[in-house]
């Protein structure tokens, strides 16, 4: 199978600020890392390739500075890397991002599986993987912790839900979002380091990518930020008393009786 792993490079959350004028994230000065659940998606893809054959291509959207992170993915085990990079892609919300990635996947061609992390640490919407599936008219499964091949060009995915687990069987092409912590991502293989450093990372701008310009970047993003406010977590009310154990027990019982009475 031909597998594409969508990988996002994100800023360290503790180093990101919000620009009050533009109402967008100010990433200047923030160090970047590969999104955690995307590494779990990459590990899932590599394990699937080892068990069933195929190739793994890493796909990302961002500025040219993201290229070294794609080379890390190559050193870990990916076969190819593609970077979608153009100022026209800037300012994209989840809709425009998913359209751009889906267009890149179509350009790669003959893709059977698309694996993504469940969500990005700088967005946290979980909207991009299902949206990619919609653009591609592909099967989809979210919150997947295990993926294996099944019969007749299908795959079997185990989903982690709030109240248990669910196993679904999907026809390919399929888009799978992998939950963070579902596996242990492998370390860089230093035997592949020379390959990772010399391999060609394909860079596609808007012209090379094709697609409809009205769906790209800020122009293709209907989401608007109406306002910003800081939300502070409310602290628990507490009271410190200096009493004997008997008095404390009496006070606790009286409080429990009061709450029970208030609830009827």
* 231 to 18, 111, 228: CA distances (angstroms): 14, 43, 9
DSSP 229: -
CA distance 78 to 172: 21
Q: For residue range 71-109, what is the model confidence (pLDDT) as tens digits? A: 999 999 999 999 999 999 988 888 999 999 999 999 999
Please name the residue ranges forming H helices in 26-127. Answer: 36-52, 67-76, 94-108
* Domains assigned to the chain: 2-215 (3.40.50.620)
Quote the mean pLDDT of the chain. Answer: 88
182 Cβ contact partners less than 8 Å away, ≥ 6 residues apart? 40, 44, 144, 145, 146, 160
pTM: 0.80
Q: Which range (73-82, 201-210, 215-224, 230-239) has the least confidence? A: 230-239
Q: Is 7 exposed, middle or buried (0-12, 13-18, 19+ CB in 10 A)?
A: buried
- Which residue is listed with tokens 């990433």? 27
131-145, 148-162, 166-180 — which is least confidently predicted? Answer: 148-162
- Among residues 188, 209, 202, 171, the alpha carbon closest in space to that of 57 is found at 202
């Amino acid at each position: 199978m031909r597998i594409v792993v969508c990988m996002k490079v994100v800023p360290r959350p503790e180093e990101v600020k919000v620009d009050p004028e533009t109402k967008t994230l100010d990433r200047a000065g923030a160090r970047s890392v590969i999104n955690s659940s995307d590494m779990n998606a990459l590990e899932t893809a590599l394990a699937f390739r080892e068990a069933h054959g195929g190739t793994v291509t890493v796909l990302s959207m961002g500025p040219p500075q993201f290229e070294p992170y794609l080379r890390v993915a190559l050193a870990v085990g990916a076969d190819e890397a593609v970077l979608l990079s153009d100022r026209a892609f800037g300012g994209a919300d989840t809709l425009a991002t998913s359209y751009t990635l889906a267009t890149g996947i179509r350009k790669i061609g003959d893709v059977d599986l698309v694996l993504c992390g469940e969500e990005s640490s700088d967005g946290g919407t979980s909207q991009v993987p299902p949206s990619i599936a919609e653009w591609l008219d592909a099967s989809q499964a979210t919150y997947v912790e295990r993926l294996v091949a099944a019969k007749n060009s299908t795959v079997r995915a185990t989903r982690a839900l709030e109240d248990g687990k669910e196993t679904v069987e999907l026809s390919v092409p399929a888009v799978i979002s992998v939950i963070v912590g579902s596996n242990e991502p492998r370390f860089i293989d230093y035997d592949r380091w020379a390959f990772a450093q010399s391999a060609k990372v394909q860079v596609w701008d808007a012209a090379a990518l094709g697609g409809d310009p009205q769906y790209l970047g800020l122009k293709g993003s209907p989401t608007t930020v109406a306002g910003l406010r800081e939300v502070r977590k409310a602290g628990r009310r507490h009271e410190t008393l200096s009493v004997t154990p008997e008095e404390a027990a009496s006070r606790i019982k009286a409080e429990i009786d009061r709450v029970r009475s208030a609830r009827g």
